[in-house]
A = this chain, B = another copy of it.
Amino acid sequence: MIIVMKPHSTDAQIDGVVTHIQSLGYRAHLSKGDETTIIGVIGDDRPIDRTLFETLDGVEKTVPILKPFKLASADMHPPDTTVPLNGLPVGGPKVAIIAGPCSVESRSQIIESAHAVKEAGATALRGGAYKPRTSPYAFQGMGEEGLVLLAEAREATGLPVVTEAMATEHVPLVAKYADVIQIGARNMQNYPLLNAAGEARVPVLLKRGMMSTIEELLMSAEYILAKGNTQIMLCERGIRTFERYTRNTTDINAVPVLKQMTHLPVILDPSHGTGKWEYVAPVAKAGIAAGADGVIIEVHPDPSHALSDGAQSLKPEKFAQLVQEIRRVAVAVDRS
């Protein structure tokens, strides 16, 4: 980190900062400019809170220099990581398409959905058994019964299953019935859950929080990596902004930023990113054009009777058409 002193800081104040740096086991490097002095801290200062120095006399601010993540960094891990999904290495040349309903609602609904997305060309099936809902009065998911139905749908179609765990106690169950544990946006900084996912030996789909920076997403991945689980797919699913015509704002920039910063594969979720089914297809294609390794899309056989997220769900026939369109865009950017 860099410590920037106030314009008229005294030698005693500078000495105080240097002493403090050394007392923490680091080396200090001074650089005097015309208007101010800056002090560099030499050594891996990731474990300390840099703002501590801001309480010392004469300090104006501190500036981080090292990226706070290590294991997630592209610098540290060439070549890129791929995560196998139904035989497809996600992060490789072929784009993955994960699709299915927001929630598992019944046997017929999930089996029908699974067959529909499989026929359309999906790589994997999504569907929630545990549902984080803003309102306690809304449908909260079928729980373990939903997991059993998802396993049945996999049996019937061969599609691997991606489903969310909302609490540490769900992790073993999800790992038992499903192929990929999803960590939802609201839980991106639920550290006990990240640790549990890190200890599970199952791939993780980690969604970016709607209020989280890309750096924080990578730090959450770092929690999972630090526990030894390297099978992580990162998912951009839209962030919260002032714009009101869409439910969220898809941060399309995050796709190339992540592809540059990390070795982990990147999935785009245009369903949550927009919140409206009419906008899902164009934004899904945009994600692939920007370099995403796959998309995750909500598909429901009867959206206007869905128990959650109906407004952003595609009907199976629209989805089938979108898969074709995605393939054309993938080819245009040298993917398949």
Residues of chain A at the chain B interface (Cβ within 8 Å) = 2, 4, 6-8, 20, 29, 31, 33-36, 38, 40, 42-44, 46-47, 49, 51-56, 63, 65-66, 68, 75, 132-140, 166-169, 186-187, 189-193, 209-216, 219, 222-223, 226, 239-246, 249-257, 259-261, 273-279, 282-283, 285-291, 303-313, 325, 328-329, 331-333
Contact B241 A256 (CB under 8 A): no
Write the nearest CB–CB distance from A314 to chain B, whole angstroms: 10
Top 6 A-B residue pairs of the complex, sorted by shortest distance between their CB atoms: A211-B211, A51-B311, A289-B289, A332-B332, A286-B286, A252-B252
Per a CB cutoff under 8 Å, which of B55, B66, B132, B303 touches A304? B55
- Whole-angstrom distance between the alpha carbons of A135 and B216 in the complex? 8
Q: Could you say which residues of chain B place their CB within 8 Å of the CB of A166?
A: 190-192
Q: Which residues of B lie under 8 Å from residue A193 when comparing CB positions?
A: 167
A138 to chain B, nearest CB (A): 6
Instruction: For A273, give its contact among B135, B211, B253 (CB under 8 Å).
Output: B253
B256 contacts A282, CB within 8 Å? Answer: yes
Identify the closest chain B residue to A193 (Cβ).
B167
Q: For the complex formed, measure the closest distance between the CB of A241 and the CB atoms of chain B, giving whole angstroms.
A: 5
User: Quick check: A249 and B256 within 8 Å, CB to CB?
Assistant: no
